[in-house]
């Protein structure tokens, strides 16, 4: 199972290196919408890449609970200077999150795509930044890992 968490970490850090932390301007709802879109793409194409994206967006939600979101200001240079300063901090927090997830993860071979849909529907009924919200995001991560055929 360590192998899958290494792949998740590698995927996330690759994206962080290539694209930076511009995702920190997103609202939680935007990231949830991106999870929905990638779940639909996975349902249609059955490509594991979309499951990794679902996991990455879920991890970004978890990280936004820890990190300060970046607010854009009128001065473009001032806004731009806020990005990509915390990559070591982000990777350290990612490692902590992945360690917690791997400690609590228990493979469920009966997981289906509809299980992730159910969790995503639950998100609409809870307040953001609550224990219930965090629990749902963790379930989305767990169920996505279950569906990865690695």
pLDDT at position 2 is: 54
Rounded CA separation 62/19 (Å): 19
pLDDT, tens only, 69-124: 777 777 777 766 766 777 888 899 999 999 999 998 988 888 888 998 888 888 88
pLDDT exceeds 60 at position 149:
yes
Select from 24, 21, 50, 52 the least CA-distant residue to 37: 50
Count of the separate structural domains present in the chain: 1
Report yes or no: 62 and 136 within 8 Å, Cβ to Cβ.
Answer: no
Q: For the whole model, what pTM was predicted?
A: 0.87
pLDDT exceeds 90 at position 39:
yes
Domain extent for 30:
2-147
């Amino acid at each position: 199972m360590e192998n899958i968490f290494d792949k998740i970490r590698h995927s996330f850090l690759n994206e962080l290196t290539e694209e930076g932390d511009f995702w920190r301007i997103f609202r939680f709802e935007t990231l949830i919408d991106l999870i929905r879109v990638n779940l639909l793409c996975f349902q249609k194409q059955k490509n594991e890449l979309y499951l990794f994206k679902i996991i990455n967006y879920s991890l970004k939600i978890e990280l936004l609970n820890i990190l300060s979101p970046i607010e854009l200001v009128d001065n473009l240079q001032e806004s731009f200077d806020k990005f990509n300063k915390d990559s070591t901090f982000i990777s350290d927090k990612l490692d902590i999150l992945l360690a917690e997830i791997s400690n609590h993860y228990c493979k469920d071979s009966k997981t289906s795509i509809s299980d992730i849909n159910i969790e995503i529907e639950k998100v609409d009924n809870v307040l953001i930044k609550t224990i219930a919200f965090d629990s749902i995001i963790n379930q989305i991560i767990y169920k996505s890992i279950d569906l990865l055929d690695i």
